[in-house]
Structure 1
């Protein structure tokens, strides 16, 4: 039985690692999905067109820091589907330590970290998340119900162990402050929205994933295994269950929850 049959879902950052995995899974579970992102992956769109009914998805170019673009995008989604049942706040700037992302990581220590990069991440990860949530809540209030799922991070709960990013090559890498500062608000933002709108039949919960394997090199995987109780990174498929639970009617008594999916990382 499809657990999300008939539900309409707006997913920001839809063409990223988590986005593509969960959006596709949501559609396999019967949901109708708005794939929203600042950059459209047209290869993925072509794949969707061959595997799904085009009435069951819509692609929306959306810069979540642009209020008008967000409002127009949600209006387009509601015009297409008729409702907006679920918002997944996934879009974010994050320094990635896989083989593709390493070259883009700013290696500055905290005391030297560029403030313009901090401001940029805060604008997207914090302010942008609020902008989309405000617009979604206006629609959900009009229709009398809604469900919001925020994507947090273990680094919104605990500090990074910077030893994870020392690959024994004579140069210490760091998980930068911009991500920690801008993501740390997500758990309490989740509680804020959950309690603010509880009487309006709008729920809000958060998923807290940790490292997801995506072509990382052996030095990173070795470090990760030493620091993780499960001694490995997550496979992207392992996020399907938690995201489906929070989007489905099986979680109707859950609101304000911060669901850890981190292989025990924050238990130590």
Structure 2
């Protein structure tokens, strides 16, 4: 069974995010054809794609996964362009990050705004279901498919809130909306895996944690102290796990959660 993704058509939601850009670009370097679907496609990234790759090997689509109409249109455009969808990667999500590009969250659980919770559920739960429904219709028509859901270590364990204490007198918190909505992913993965097992559609999840990106020194020190491997994940280290799940090498895997966290959930 080959580890290759060459000639596979891979539909990537959240393709312009941190993980999305890294993995979608790597897939194309390995000869895959990729649908770059995102709520906000980035012109600079698109320009680089046109410079580096044959235009026949990728398609950029605006996609709002919370909109059934947007999802239906995107799947129709993707299949019209490539003829099929071999792999769906559900990477689009709302996440409260702790790098230089994101504001810190100071809301304790008892004060967390319900509107923020509803928004995360709308995207991370309902939106993931809506786009998966549309892609599954196409996979059933073509007789095969492979779904990769992007979970999180916070799908598996609670956040260690001391990670977000930077010794400045104010503790920041990983909010409940992300934990609640991402905890849905592992069981959703098992649901799809067992529902479609007899129809040649597989579904697995990958649970990354702590991808390095413009983090402050205090955060990096906390992370190193709490992680068995003593460091955050480099983006390149996600390539292999995603490639494995997208390839035929994982053909007897379905309903599994592949944890890529430097041992974070091991203690």
Q: Would the TM-score normalized by the shorter structure come out above 0.5?
A: yes
The corresponding residue for 2:98 is 97
Match of 1:59 in 2: 60
Which sections of structure 2, spanning at least 5 residues, go unmatched?
Answer: none
CA distance in 1, matches of 2:159, 2:5: 35
**Alignment partners' CA distance in 2, 1:199 and 1:43:** 42
Aligned counterparts, 1:118-197, within 5 A: 118-197=117-196
In the alignment, is residue 10 of structure 1 matched against residue 22 of structure 2? no
Give 1:164-243 correspondences, 5 Å limit.
Answer: 164-243=163-242
Counterpart of 2:36 in structure 1 is 35
Counterpart in 1 of 2:111? 112
**Structure 1, residues 33-87: CA drift from partner, whole Å, max 9, x if none?**
0000000101000000010000000000000000000000000000000001100
Looking at structure 1, the residues matched to 58 and 106 of structure 2 have their Cα atoms a distance apart, in angstroms, of 39
Q: Do residues 81 (structure 1) and 77 (structure 2) align?
A: no
Whole-Å Cα distance in 1 between the matches of residues 74 and 27 of structure 2? 20
Say if 2:3 and 2:249, in contact at 8 Å, map to a contact too: no
TM-score by length of 1: 0.98
Does the Cα contact within 8 Å between 2:8 and 2:33 map onto a contact in 1?
A: yes
- Please list the CA deviations of residues 159-215 of structure 1 after superposition, one character each: whole Å capped at 9, or x if unmatched: 000000000001110000000000001001000000000000000000000000001
Summarize deviations over 1:98-123 as a string: whole Å, max 9, x none: 1111x2x4311000000000000000
- Partners of 2:115 and 2:105 in 1: CA distance: 12
Q: Which residue of 2 aligns with 1:261?
A: 260
Q: Secondary structure at the match of 2:60?
A: strand
Aligned residue number for residue 244 of structure 1: 243
Question: 1:262 & 1:128 partners in 2: Cα distance?
Answer: 25
Relative to the length of structure 2, the TM-score reads 0.98
How many residues get paired?
Answer: 266
Q: Deviation of residue 125 (structure 1)?
A: 0.2
Inter-partner Cα distance in structure 1 for 2:101 and 2:91: 20
Structure 1: runs of 5 or more not aligned: none
Extract structure 1 runs of 4+ deviating beyond 6 A.
none
Measure how far apart 1:2 and its partner are: 8.1
